Amino acid sequence: MTANITTIKDELDGIFSEYNQIFAGRPRATRDASILSNIIERLESAIGEAKGLANGDSTLADTLKTADENLDRYLDELQAIRNIQGDSRVVFAAELAGQANRIFDRYQRNYAGADRGSRDVLKLNEMADELVGIEDKMAQLVKAGVDAAKTDRNIVKEQLALYRKEIANIKEAHISGTNPEKVDRYAQLANDQFRLYRVHFSGKGRPSRRIELLERMKSNLKTYRRYMNDLKKSGFHNDMNNKNIGVIDANIDMYTTEMKEIAKAKAEIPVKDLSGNLGGAANELFEMYRESFAGKDRGTVELELIGDLCDGLYNIVVQMREISNAIDIEANDANLKIVEENLTSYENEYRAIKEAQEGK
């Protein structure tokens, strides 16, 4: 009987954990009621099995008490989810809030507390542009009487103002300092773009790659090359700076060629297949997460890697959403929700890992 009791306890703990991961603290308007219904069915079944095992034995008393309390809570939550999802506009408002929160996560991960001179200004500009689109949709919902969007819209507007101010500060930081400091700074900024290429493009299937990211990287390199040339024109001579200009030239040419190849690869497959390709790319990132982070000590895992996984999922989300906005593909819509859920979880895990490692 002990082994059976242990098994049922593990089953119940697994159900509780699943609920906490998918529903606890998440906006009801974006939750899948069918998933919670399934959790409730499994919990009811497990409770019945546990009561049969107990048969007067007090070993499962506390576990059954918790299970009964959770069942009542899950049933209440299911009804609340169904009630709030009765208004599609409220659901849309929650989806927009989720998109905004993921942008806020990216900002915290890439900019908060970082040396401005080392930051990617075009990435932040891209994030600000996304917030403009989200704020515009929220404004329309507010105008339509969706009160749930008012507070979220104000937060988005505040963050947008912050990002715009930070963009100006980063641009100023890029051109500040002594000439030797600028040489090192521009070299590192360029190296950051080269690293992005290695992480997100090198050896990857072209149909799932995001052209806009490569275009942004190319534009950044052009800016850094201009900064380096300005140093030369000012009369400052530095062999490393001159060499770096040549390296940037070569990479700009490579990125230009690769952009054409990616565009060609995307054009040669149907949209439905492209959607499936993106789903496959997401699965590769999920597997990398499981191998490198699931069940591992947060104090010993690689913080930079999970940041890369977040960025990789973001690039997939953007492309899946573009497909979703253009054409109705049920599998793509389902995959988009899954990838967005995992992206939120990975961003949360990034913060937890960072906190664990900074606390050492």
CB neighbour list of residue 165: distance below 8 Å, 6 or more residues apart: none
Identify the pLDDT of residue 9: 85
DSSP 59: G
By the 8 A CB rule, do 294 and 238 touch? no
Helix, strand, coil % over all residues of the chain, rounded to 5: 85, 0, 15
By the 8 A CB rule, do 324 and 278 touch? no
By the 8 A CB rule, do 100 and 131 touch? yes
Identify the pLDDT of residue 3: 47
Q: Which of 131, 248, 165, 258 is nearest to 204 (CA)?
A: 258
CB atoms within 10 A of CB 148: 20
CA distance 137 to 135: 5
CA distance 242 to 256: 22
Identify the pLDDT of residue 1: 42
CB neighbour list of residue 155: distance below 8 Å, 6 or more residues apart: 100
pLDDT block averages, 10 residues each, the chain of length 360: 71 90 81 88 89 70 88 89 81 92 96 96 97 96 91 96 97 96 97 98 96 98 97 94 97 98 96 95 97 94 97 97 92 94 94 89
Identify the pLDDT of residue 128: 98
List, for residues 191-240, the tens digit of each pLDDT value.
999 999 999 999 999 999 999 999 999 999 999 999 999 999 999 999 99
Backbone φ and ψ for 31, nearest 5 degrees, come out as: -85, 150
CA distance 206 to 217: 16
CA distance 141 to 147: 8
Identify the pLDDT of residue 243: 96
pTM metric for this prediction:
0.82
Sign of CA dihedral 314, 318, 323, 328: positive
CB atoms within 10 A of CB 79: 11
To which H or E segment does residue 89 belong? helix 88-110
CA distance 305 to 291: 12
CA distance 205 to 202: 9
